[in-house]
Each structure stands twice: as structure tokens, then as C-alpha cells.
Amino acid sequence: MHGLLIPSLTYVLGLRVKGSKLASCVCLLTALVCVTLSHPVSAQEAITQKNVLVLYSSSDRTFTGEVNSLESELRTHSPWPVNFYVEYLEGKSFDDEAYENAVAEALQSRYSGQKLDLVMPESPAALDFILKYRDRLFPGVPIVFFEVDVTWPVVQKRWPGVTGVTVNTDARATIDLALDLHPDTKVVAVITNDSAWEKHWLTVIHAELVRHRDTIKEIDLVALPPDQLLQRVDSLSPHTLLLFQEIQDASSQPVIGSYDLLALVGQRRPTYCLWADICLNRGGIGGNRVDFENLAPLEAELARRVLSGERPDDIPVVNYRTQHPRVDWRQLQRWHIPESALPPGSVVLYREPTLWERDHKYFLTAIAVIVVQALLIFGLLWQRARKHRAEAVLRESEERFRVMADTTPSLIWMCDEEGKITYLNDQRVAFTGPGPDTGYGNDWTAYVHSDDLKNVQEALAWALESHQRFSKEYRLRRYDGVYRWMFDIASPRVNGDGSFAGLIGSAIDITDQKLAQEALQTVGGRLLQAQDEERKRIARELHDDISQKLALLSMELAQANCSANGSVEATRERLNDIRQHCSDIAKDIQSLSHQLHYSKLDYLGLVGALKGFCREFAKQYDVSVDFKEEGVPRKLPTQVSLCLFRVTQEALHNAAKYSGAREFAVRLNATADEVQLVVSDAGAGFDVAEAMKNQGLGLVSMQERVHLVQGRFNIESRPGEGTKIVVTVPVIVNGASTKSAANVPGAA
């Protein structure tokens, strides 16, 4: 593929094309097109690459800026390679129809065999040109314009297939800056040319200076020859400001160009520009300037979106307004303008070099000589300083250790070779309680439980004698008087010369782990004991209740058989008694069956099963159970339904047995993700902490059931204030939990 940066049309079309010049222009264009098309584009490249044409309105590279930043941004954030074709036009010559047609023919010849994916015109002249010839040059190609001022009519409407970035050149800000820095100004002279572009900005300047018509006189110096212009400037009053608004035409090179004029008039009067870049480093003071450096990411993002397939009509035009005053420091000094008079955010350029910036080579040479001398002196003193450095490193290391030790969650301690505590970290001091000598020296023994103190002292003495590490479990008294189990590991530490310095240890609180281990060790036995108790209870129920009733039923049947020849009325009464006893036996068997497995849960669901159970429970214990549900689905996972039913069953039985209340409430509510069960009473209540410490089997079984379905179990109770049990379980339980719930004893 041919080069990415296409040679500018400036050299061919820089002058107005008229008469016989047009023929020679066409010949040159033909030769250029032949060279350009001599490298055909492969089909694979056309598919995988994007082609972007950038049209600048001016051949003045200083004014239009460089395309490099736009290329870099777009290529960095695009998933495909991007080829850039750049053309620099002469926007000031677009008043000539012949010139426009020549440019259009040249572009058509150059890009007729090239598939373009995007056209990016810069400034209003290029945008006007593209919109005028788009159907002829680039039919169907989307357009993303940039750096077009919002005051131009071409961006006052939305064009189909067009989006872009507008800027807001704040002429008012530049005029106010100039008047603020020169408060005694009486006259503002505007130096400009007569192109359409310059006429537009002259109109904008007129509109802004109207605000000052009572105090400021405006003079327009339009399209004057250089000598006349300088004479007019020399004749202006001393209280005059100049607004220079000419752009140099790179295609014409007069003896005195626009920027040469700027330097000459800038020596005579304070000169400002609507675009600070025109004035800066050319004799002008400066002006307000759009931050063009930050425009490239915005422009590249719009281009990337269009190249990705978005319709330009769906992408709103971005109006970029960020701008700051920029001034030339040398001109501030020339016109005696203090920097303090500049508005906040102003950028001052071209400062005079400081003493260091001007003579830094000499300073560096002197510093090098001094450094060499210092190194020689340092070499002489190195042996003496080596010891001091080592001590400093040791102190720094100890300080780092203390910082690390004070931030670790473990309890860190150190002792000397005699076993006396020399250091405790902040966590250790906070654990036992603050004090001037808390645990230092031999006072640490006062915090160890008396039953463990002997073993700890023996282990410490052995480690100090053998210089070996040891570990020990013991109980340590906390600041609130509670003893907590600690697991302590200690290792020997040495001095810088390798001699034994004592021990350093780290202890962690393992009370919760030990309680958990004890609970795991006892829960199996307690579950077996509970199974045996349940079997005994069932046996008693069968023997003392159902068996006795069956025996009584057998006797009554025998008596009914003996008295069968009696009166009909007596026989009917006997049979009614037998029927009633049969009904009682059936109810007892049903109650016992429900305690083992509530079959209604399978075919009525959780809500129906709980309603039935609450009615039966209230009737059995002669109490009131208020059951309400809201939003609970008909079908819930089996393990969730079983868990909530068993917790309700256990909670109501415990409440009836211990609370002394006659009224209970059961609430069942569901959301999209969770089901919540609340069982409450206004009875005697109890101490939750004490009950959990005693690990009552009823509370343990409820808690374990809830944990197996990844739920949350909470008890709210105080003596004399009733009890509330709150269970929240997720509606969806993973397979592992389902399996675990199914293996719980008594889960069926």
C-alpha cells in the first residue's frame, strides 16, 4: 500500500487557478495520481484495514496543528489497522469557484480507486467543501469534522451522515483579558484581511466590542499593504490595543508576510490574537486559547465509533469548551504587565532562563569536582563510618520490626536470655489491658492461668537452656478477666555477633477453635443419646398409651360379645365406646407418626403443612397459635421445606414446654431469593448466651439444620421478655447442601 501521509495539494493548488494555469495544474495532478495509484491495494488489506482521509483547511501547519496525535489515539484504541491520508488545502482560496473545482477534480482522481471508510474535515472551510462535493467525491462515506467553531453557520444544523467536535473560540475572553491587562485603553484596532474566514471573525469581534462602545473606539485596518498598515499603527494613540487576526498563506511568500507584520506591529503596540498560537513567539502578547491538546481523544473516539459501524446521525455533536489564556512572558516584561494581573489558570510561556538553566553546565562541573573530593574524604573515613552505618541499619531494622509487630493481629512478645519479657506489641498490651509494666519482666506469669503456669514455665526454661523453639497451649487472662486459650510458638533469636539473645514468640487466640472441637467431639454422642431417648419415648408411647388402649379395646370387645344378647340400646352404647376408643388410638398413632414424619409436607407443601401442624399443636396443648404467611411459593426445595418445618416444630414444643405462655405466633414470609420464618412468644424468655454455652440439643439441632441449607439462625430473648427465633434461608440451595441435609438424623 502506498504511503500513509499523502503529499499536500498545497504545492499544486496553492494559487488561484485561472485561464491557462488550469491546464498546467491538471497535468501536474495527472502525474501525481499516476504515482499514487502505482501501488494497488490488496483485497485482504481492504477487508482488514480502515482508511481515513483528513482534510485540513490551511497549509499553515502551525495553525492547524499536527495529525500525529489524532493518528496515535485512533490507532491505539482501534481493533484494526488504520491508514491515514492527509491533505492540506488553502481554505482562504475557496472563494474562487475554479479553485474549488480543481481541488475536487484532484481529490476525485486521487481517491477514485481507494475505498475510504471515513472523511475528517478540519475547520469550517474544509467542512463546507466536503458537504458541497460529498456526493461527487465520497458518496456514502461518513463524515466526522473537528475543530469547527460553533459560531459558523455550517454547524448550526445537523447534516445527514455527519457528526463531529465543535470548539468555542471565546473572543470575549480574549478582549476582556486585553482590557483587564491594559485598563487605560481608549482604542482597539483590528488588523485583518478580507477573506471570508477573516470577515467572519471581524463580525464576531464587532459584536463583542459593542459592549464597550461607550468607552472604547474601534478601528478596522482591513487588507492594508504593509507600509500603509505600519504608518496607520504608528499614528494611533498610545492608549491603543491591537487585535491581530491574519493567517499567513503558505502558498504565497511576500517580502513581508503576516507573521512579519505581527512582529513589527507588536513592537509598536500591545497586540493580542483570538488564537493565542498566532501571537505567541511572534511578537504578540497572546490571548485565550482552546486546549487543542485534549481534543485528540474526543476526535479519535468519535472516529472509532463511526468506523465500528455506528451511524453518525446517532452520535451527538460534542462541543468542547475548555480553554485558558496563554501569554508570552517576554511580552509581559516588555509592556510591564505583572503576572499577578493574569486570571487564574493562565499559561505563561517563553520565560527567560534562570541562572541554573543558563549556567547549569558550569554548576554541574563544579558539583562534580566537589563530589570527587567528597568521595576521597569518604574513602578515608569509610572504615570508621562502617560501624555507625551498621548500627543505623540495625536500629532501622528493629524499628521496622516494631511497626510490623504492632500491626499484625498476633500477640508478639520477646524475652532476654534469662526469660524476662523485654517487648510486647500493641495487640498483646491491648489484650491484657494497658499499664506501665503490663506483662514485662516476670510479671507475665500473673496473666497465665494457674493450672497452666507450671507447664509454660517448664517449656520456657527448656527453650532458654537448649536454644530451641517450642509451642504451647495455655489460658491467658484478658483485660475483662476472661481467660482465653492461646496457641504460642516461640523461636530463638540471636545478636549481631551470633550469640543467643533470647526468644521471640507469637500467640493467637484459639478459644473458638477449641470450643468448636469440643462441640464436634460431643455432638455425635449427644445425637446418639437423643436417638436412644427418642426410641425410649416412642416405646413408652406404644406401651403406656397405645398398648393400654388396645388392651382396653380388647376387653370392651369381649364384654360387647358377652352382652350381645342384651338390649339393643346397651349394645349401641358399648359399640359407641369402642368406636371412640378406636378413634383415640388412631389419633395417638397419627400424632406419633407426625412426630416422626409429617406426611402433609409432601403433598400440601410448606404452608399447608405448617397450617395443619399449628392447628393440631394448638388443639393438643390447648394453646393459641397465630400462623400467617405472605408470598411463599407453592413449591420450595425439599430440604428448605423440611428445615423450616422442623425448626417450627422444635421451637413450638420448646415454647410450650418452657415459656409458660399460652399464645404463640408463627410468621412465614418470602422474597424472590429468601424465605424467612419467625416463631415468637411473650413468655418467660431466657439468657441466650448461657443457653448457647450449655449447648442445648434443641438449639443445636435447629442451628445445624439451618446451616446445612446455608441459612441464618438468630435467637432474640431475655429473661421475662419473651423469645423470638428468626430463620432466613435462601430459596436455591446447592447440591452439596441438599445431600448434607438429606443425611441429617431425623431429617425424614
Q: 67 with 113, same domain? A: yes
Mean pLDDT of all residues in 598-604: 70
Q: 653 with 701, same domain? A: yes
User: What residues form DSSP beta bridges with 506?
Assistant: 412, 489
Count of other CB atoms within 10 angstroms of residue 738: 16
Q: 608 with 730, same domain? A: yes
- To the nearest whole number, what is the mean pLDDT of the chain? 81
Beta strand pairing status for 421-424 and 411-415? antiparallel
- The confidence band for 294, taking pLDDT boundaries of 50, 70 and 90, is confident
Least confident of 299-313, 318-332, 423-437, 654-668: 423-437
Residue 5 has pLDDT above 50, yes or no: no
Q: Which comes out higher in pLDDT, residue 58 or 43?
A: 58
pLDDT tens per residue, range 129-154: 999 999 999 999 999 999 899 999 99
Q: 199 with 124, same domain? A: no
Q: 162 with 276, same domain? A: no
Contact in structure between 664 and 679 (CB atoms under 8 Å): yes
Residue where a domain stops, chosen among 459, 481, 509? 509
- For residue 728, being part of any structural domain is answered with yes
Name the H helices within 247-334: 258-268, 276-279, 295-307, 329-334
Q: 663 with 747, same domain? A: yes
Dist CA 651 CA 654 (whole Å): 5
Contact in structure between 62 and 277 (CB atoms under 8 Å): yes
Cα dihedral value 464, 446, 481, 700, nearest 10: 40
Mean pLDDT of all residues in 690-711: 78
- The confidence band for 62, taking pLDDT boundaries of 50, 70 and 90, is low
pLDDT at res. 742: 36
- The confidence band for 271, taking pLDDT boundaries of 50, 70 and 90, is very high
- For residue 372, being part of any structural domain is answered with no
- For residue 569, being part of any structural domain is answered with no
Residue 46 has pLDDT above 50, yes or no: no
Dist CA 55 CA 147 (whole Å): 12
pLDDT at res. 38: 43
Q: 201 with 157, same domain? A: no
pLDDT at res. 17: 34
- The confidence band for 192, taking pLDDT boundaries of 50, 70 and 90, is very high
φ, ψ for residue 195 (rounded to 5)? -75, 165
Residue 452 has pLDDT above 60, yes or no: yes
Residue 712 has pLDDT above 60, yes or no: yes
- For residue 532, being part of any structural domain is answered with no
Least confident of 115-119, 298-302, 641-645: 641-645
Beta strands in 547-648 (DSSP E): 624-630
- The confidence band for 403, taking pLDDT boundaries of 50, 70 and 90, is confident
- For residue 97, being part of any structural domain is answered with yes
Question: How many alpha carbons fall within 13 Å on the CB side of residue 640?
Answer: 28
pLDDT at res. 275: 85
Residue 334 has pLDDT above 90, yes or no: yes
Mean pLDDT of all residues in 383-390: 80
- The confidence band for 292, taking pLDDT boundaries of 50, 70 and 90, is confident
Least confident of 245-259, 322-336, 444-458, 506-520: 245-259
Residue where a domain stops, chosen among 108, 137, 167? 167
Count of other CB atoms within 10 angstroms of residue 32: 18
Mean pLDDT of all residues in 598-608: 76
Query: Domain range for residue 603?
Result: 598-748
Dist CA 727 CA 110 (whole Å): 78
State the cell numbers at 594.
407426625
C-alpha to C-alpha distances, 163 to 157, 313, 646, 698, nearest whole angstrom: 11, 7, 67, 73
Q: 658 with 622, same domain? A: yes
Query: In 3-state terms, what secondary structure has residue 88?
Result: strand
Q: Which comes out higher in pLDDT, residue 732 or 727?
A: 727
Residue where a domain stops, chosen among 141, 167, 193? 167
- The confidence band for 264, taking pLDDT boundaries of 50, 70 and 90, is very high
Q: 231 with 336, same domain? A: yes
Residue 185 has pLDDT above 90, yes or no: yes
Beta strands in 278-394 (DSSP E): 286-290, 318-320, 323-328, 347-349
- The confidence band for 21, taking pLDDT boundaries of 50, 70 and 90, is very low
Residue 67 has pLDDT above 50, yes or no: yes
- The confidence band for 578, taking pLDDT boundaries of 50, 70 and 90, is confident
Dist CA 286 CA 327 (whole Å): 4
Give percent of the chain above pLDDT 90. Answer: 37
Which CATH number do you get for residue 491? 3.30.450.20
Query: In 3-state terms, what secondary structure has residue 469?
Result: coil
C-alpha to C-alpha distances, 149 to 122, 124, 155, nearest whole angstrom: 10, 7, 8
Least confident of 359-368, 382-391, 414-423, 713-722: 382-391
- For residue 700, being part of any structural domain is answered with yes
- The residue assigned the cell 554548576 is 363
Q: Is the pTM of this model over 0.85?
A: no
Q: 101 with 146, same domain? A: yes
Least confident of 197-211, 404-418, 428-442, 538-552: 538-552
Q: Which comes out higher in pLDDT, residue 643 or 695?
A: 643
* Domain total of the chain: 4
Q: 421 with 465, same domain? A: yes
Mean pLDDT of all residues in 36-53: 60
Least confident of 136-150, 230-244, 401-415, 466-480: 401-415
Dist CA 668 CA 678 (whole Å): 7
Element (H, E) at 243: strand 240-245
Contact in structure between 240 and 185 (CB atoms under 8 Å): yes
State the cell numbers at 11.
504545492
C-alpha to C-alpha distances, 159 to 134, 142, 143, 185, 725, nearest whole angstrom: 12, 11, 10, 43, 69
* 468: amino acid identity, one letter: Q
- For residue 566, being part of any structural domain is answered with no
- The confidence band for 230, taking pLDDT boundaries of 50, 70 and 90, is very high
Residue 312 has pLDDT above 80, yes or no: yes
pLDDT at res. 227: 92
Dist CA 173 CA 185 (whole Å): 16
- For residue 430, being part of any structural domain is answered with yes
- The confidence band for 708, taking pLDDT boundaries of 50, 70 and 90, is confident
Element (H, E) at 311: none
Which CATH number do you get for residue 56? 3.40.50.2300
Dist CA 741 CA 496 (whole Å): 60
Contact in structure between 684 and 660 (CB atoms under 8 Å): yes
Beta strands in 434-592 (DSSP E): 470-477, 483-494, 500-509
φ, ψ for residue 692 (rounded to 5)? -70, -35
- The confidence band for 485, taking pLDDT boundaries of 50, 70 and 90, is very high
What does the angle CA 294 – CA 298 – CA 300 come to, to the nearest 5 degrees? 110
Mean pLDDT of all residues in 628-635: 87
Contact in structure between 53 and 119 (CB atoms under 8 Å): yes
Instruction: Write out 529-569 in H/E/C secondary structure.
Output: HHHHHHHHHHHHHHHHHHHHHHHHHHHHHHHHHHHHHCCHH
Long-range CB pairs of 424-431, under 8 A, 24+ apart, other chains included: 428/507, 430/479, 431/476, 431/478, 431/479
pLDDT at res. 705: 83
pLDDT tens per residue, range 653-679: 888 888 888 999 999 999 888 999 999
Q: 135 with 43, same domain? A: yes
Least confident of 36-40, 375-379, 724-728: 36-40
Residue 733 has pLDDT above 80, yes or no: no
